[in-house]
């Protein structure tokens, strides 16, 4: 076959791809190559390009079919450099994109909300009990608090303390006023904060105003992100007076400290310990010159954003959910760093965010709190800005001729309905771009619903944009479905199986492994709490991954996933076959970051629920 290769690479990627392409083809222009090559050779070339791909890589391959016809085979790297036919754009505009993608107008708002929450999300770690637990403050056992505080946790969790500190800072100000206060922030701001804090000290002060009843819209959203960045609120199961939430429109009006942590209501704490929970002997990030400078710059940018003040964003669940996802993912990525240098910290600020252990097993103070909050804020902003382009940077399904061919004539009686369904999918493709798609495949057993679903997904997608999940109720069915799709779509020979391995991934969990890990869960949680950062836990903790080798060339701007190879593989697969429990945390993740991986997957691919009769009625919602 004769192929032409076009490179639209930039920066260092240009030199890297030229070295690869020069080894396979003749250069007939500055960024154009042509050669006669076998299918095996072309697969090897594509694999090498993927292994070196970055965000600046963009290479298209065209098969010369005749004098007047060529066919785009694939694109490696940034697909936005070409259209679906492989044509390079002459001019660019953002106007049409903004019309088509409802995600994009909210991106700036999501980024700003996640970033400002990042500065406040851990300020509550400044309290005496938390710093004593880390070892930043030596526990004075001669004091009453030192004698009576023997637990590894506090009466109030750090995110609740952070919420009240933020509430005390905002107080009765409007959104414009408290943001302007951050623009003008100085050391007197910290003094005013500590002076007003006694009005907001839970377990010490009665009848504290609920932040979600009176705070202005932006502050209300930031408060929600702060208090929920580790876990969603839950009323403690140990308490008898369970509230009836069926008819409550706004449950946040009865939101109390025990919703964030049951020990606030289920344990008796000595007064001296509770007081220590509200003491800040080393100061708070409000005292850090670095923190002040960085948050002042962000607040100034937020004040100049008209879109931020145009809507009641706290009522927009999509914006709320993605801002929380960006904040949690940034916090996790930052806390998972092996080495930090604290160069972005005020040298006079001695409050720490977390600890770690050296090679000898000795614990040491790891990252200062002001630097941690600054980095989480910056990263949360980057994550939010990168989410709209996530799908375009992930691998999509290669052209699959088996999904394009009609059913052979001799099988029309049993499987002819597949062609009708595929034809209908193609006819409504343009409508689906605006309105989405929900369909039900109803056919008897053995009539090829699994293959038909793949054909429908393929027909609904633009060329080189097909990505979908197949979710099933049983582990054995998931394995069978993955094998069937590989055989039906790509064939059984060795070359076809290699292509199948690059396009179809299987993710199933071993119940035995999961049960064993549940036994150790309490011990793991205790370890994370001792280190001062639950964000260091894996985002795919209890999964057994059976996944083929996928070349991972995700752009450099997605370095916030670099430490989670499992998630990278989970995201990259064009077709993911799994038991449905891997996707359910997208809507049911209560604590930790378990909802992040499935949410990113569902944001970047379509969904097929296969064999729904295996689910119970309780599963359907």
Q: What is the pLDDT of residues 306-335, one digit of tens each?
A: 889 887 787 888 899 999 999 999 999 898
For residue 360, what is the DSSP state?
A: T
Residue 561 is classified by DSSP as: G
What residues are paired with 71 via a beta bridge?
63
What tokens does 24 get?
Answer: 């396979």
Confidence class for position 183, pLDDT limits 50, 70, 90: very high
Worst-scoring range by mean pLDDT, 164-168, 272-276, 472-476? 472-476
Beta strands in 320-467 (DSSP E): 355-357, 363-365
Judged against a pLDDT cut of 70, whether residue 619 lies above it is answered with no
What mean pLDDT comes out for the span 413-433?
A: 93
Sign of CA dihedral 345, 349, 354, 356: positive
Strands 355-357 and 32-36: unpaired
CA dist 253 and 81 (Å) reads 49
Rounded CA-CA distance 152/264 in Å is 14
Per-residue pLDDT tens digits for 28-53 = 998 999 999 998 899 899 989 988 88
Torsion of CA 573, 577, 579, 580, to 10 degrees: 70
State the pLDDT at residue 225: 96
The pLDDT value recorded for residue 98 is 38
**Would you give the distance in Å from CA 398 to the centre of its chain?**
25
Question: Torsion angle, CA of 287/292/294/297, rounded to 10 degrees?
Answer: 170
* CA gap 345, 290 in Å, rounded: 6
For strand 575-579 and strand 468-472, is the pairing parallel, antiparallel, or unpaired? parallel
Q: Which two tokens stand for residue 101?
A: 């993608």
Q: Work out the pLDDT band at 153, boundaries 50, 70, 90.
A: confident
Q: Tell me the pLDDT of the chain averaged across its residues.
A: 84
Name the pTM for this structure. Answer: 0.80
Spell out the residues 6+ positions from residue 108 whose beta carbon is closer than 8 angstroms to its own: 305, 307, 308
pLDDT digits (tens, 9 = 90+) for 240-256: 888 877 766 667 778 88
Q: Is residue 545 predicted with pLDDT exceeding 60?
A: no
For residue 253, the 8-state DSSP code is G
Question: Quick check: 215 pLDDT over 60?
Answer: yes
What is the sign, positive or negative, of the torsion defined by CA atoms of 407, 410, 411, 412? Answer: positive
Residue in this structure with the two tokens 């985002």, named with its chain if needed: 539
Would you say residue 118 has pLDDT above 70? yes
What would the mean pLDDT of 584-602 be, rounded to a whole number? Answer: 82
89-93, 124-128, 146-150: range with highest mean pLDDT: 124-128
Tokens of 458: 């393929």
The predicted structure's pLDDT at residue 102: 42
Tokens of 315: 């009522």
Q: Which helix (H) or strand (E) holds 365?
A: strand 363-365
Question: How far apart are alpha carbons 182 and 170 in whole angstroms?
Answer: 10
Query: What is the predicted pLDDT for the residue at 306?
Result: 82
For 282-315, letters b (16+ CB in 10 Å) and e give bbbbbbbebbbebbeebbebbeeeeebbeeebbe
Radius of gyration over every alpha carbon of the chain, rounded to an integer in angstroms: 27
> Where is 2: in which H helix or E strand?
strand 2-7
Contacts for 100-105 with beta carbons within 8 Å, 24 or more apart? 100/433, 101/388, 103/387, 103/388, 104/388, 105/307
Predicted pLDDT at 238: 82
183/292 Cα distance (integer angstroms): 9
Q: Are 447 and 414 in contact (CB under 8 A)?
A: yes
Q: How much is the pLDDT for 126?
A: 96
């Amino acid at each position: 076959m004769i192929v032409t290769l076009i490179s639209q690479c930039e920066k260092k990627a240009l030199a890297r791809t030229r070295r690869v392409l020069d080894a396979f083809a003749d250069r007939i222009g500055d960024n154009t190559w042509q050669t006669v090559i076998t299918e095996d050779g072309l697969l090897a070339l594509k694999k090498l390009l993927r292994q070196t791909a970055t965000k600046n890589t963009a290479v298209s391959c065209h098969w010369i079919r005749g004098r007047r016809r060529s066919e785009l085979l694939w694109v490696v790297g940034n697909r936005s450099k070409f259209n679906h036919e492989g044509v390079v754009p002459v001019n660019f505009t953002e106007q049409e994109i903004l019309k088509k993608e409802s995600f994009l107008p909210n991106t700036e708002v999501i980024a700003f909300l996640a970033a400002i929450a990042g500065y406040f999300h851990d300020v509550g770690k400044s309290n005496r009990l938390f710093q004593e637990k880390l070892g930043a403050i030596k526990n004075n056992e001669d004091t009453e608090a030192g004698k009576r505080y023997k637990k590894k946790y506090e009466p109030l969790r750090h995110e609740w303390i952070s919420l009240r500190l933020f509430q005390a800072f905002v107080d009765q100000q409007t959104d414009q006023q408290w943001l302007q206060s951050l623009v003008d922030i100085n050391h007197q701001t910290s003094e005013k904060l500590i002076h007003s804090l006694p009005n907001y000290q839970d377990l010490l002060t009665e009848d504290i105003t609920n932040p979600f009843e009176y705070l202005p819209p932006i502050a209300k959203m930031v408060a929600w992100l702060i208090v929920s960045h580790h876990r969603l609120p839950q009323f403690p199961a140990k308490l008898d007076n369970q509230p009836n939430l069926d008819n409550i429109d706004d449950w946040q009006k009865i939101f109390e400290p025990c919703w964030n942590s049951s020990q606030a209501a289920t344990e008796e704490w000595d007064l001296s310990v509770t007081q220590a929970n509200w003491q800040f002997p080393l100061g708070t990030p409000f005292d850090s010159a670095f923190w002040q400078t960085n948050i002042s710059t962000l607040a100034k940018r937020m004040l100049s954003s008209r879109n931020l003040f145009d809507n009641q964003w706290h009522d927009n669940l999509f914006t709320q959910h993605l801002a929380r996802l960006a904040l949690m993912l940034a916090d996790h990525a930052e806390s998972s760093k092996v080495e930090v240098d604290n160069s972005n910290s005020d040298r006079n600020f001695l409050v720490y965010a977390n600890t770690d252990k050296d090679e000898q097993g000795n614990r040491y103070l790891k990252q200062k709190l002001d630097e941690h909050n600054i980095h989480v804020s910056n990263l949360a902003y980057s994550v939010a800005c990168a989410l709209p382009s996530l799908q375009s940077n992930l691998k999509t399904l290669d052209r699959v001729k088996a999904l394009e061919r009609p059913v052979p004539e001799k099988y029309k009686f049993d499987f002819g309905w597949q062609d009708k369904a595929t034809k209908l999918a193609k006819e409504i493709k343009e409508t689906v771009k605006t309105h989405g798609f929900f369909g039900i495949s109803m056919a008897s057993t053995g009539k090829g619903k699994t293959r038909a679903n793949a054909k429908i997904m393929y027909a609904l997608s633009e060329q080189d944009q097909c990505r979908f999940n197949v979710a099933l109720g049983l582990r054995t069915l998931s394995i069978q479905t993955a094998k069937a799709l590989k055989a039906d779509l790509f064939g059984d020979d060795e070359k076809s199986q290699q292509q199948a391995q690059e396009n179809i991934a299987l993710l199933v969990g071993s119940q035995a492994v999961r049960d064993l890990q549940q036994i150790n869960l309490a011990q793991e949680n205790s370890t994370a709490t001792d280190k001062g950062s639950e964000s260091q836990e894996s985002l795919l903790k209890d999964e057994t991954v059976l996944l083929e080798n996928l070349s991972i060339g995700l752009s450099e701007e997605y370095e916030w996933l670099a430490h989670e190879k499992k998630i990278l593989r989970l995201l990259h697969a064009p077709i993911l076959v799994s038991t449905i429990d891997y996707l359910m945390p997208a809507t049911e993740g209560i604590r930790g970051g378990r909802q992040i991986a499935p949410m990113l997957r569902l944001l970047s691919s379509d969904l097929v629920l296969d064999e729904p009769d295996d689910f119970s009625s309780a599963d359907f919602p």
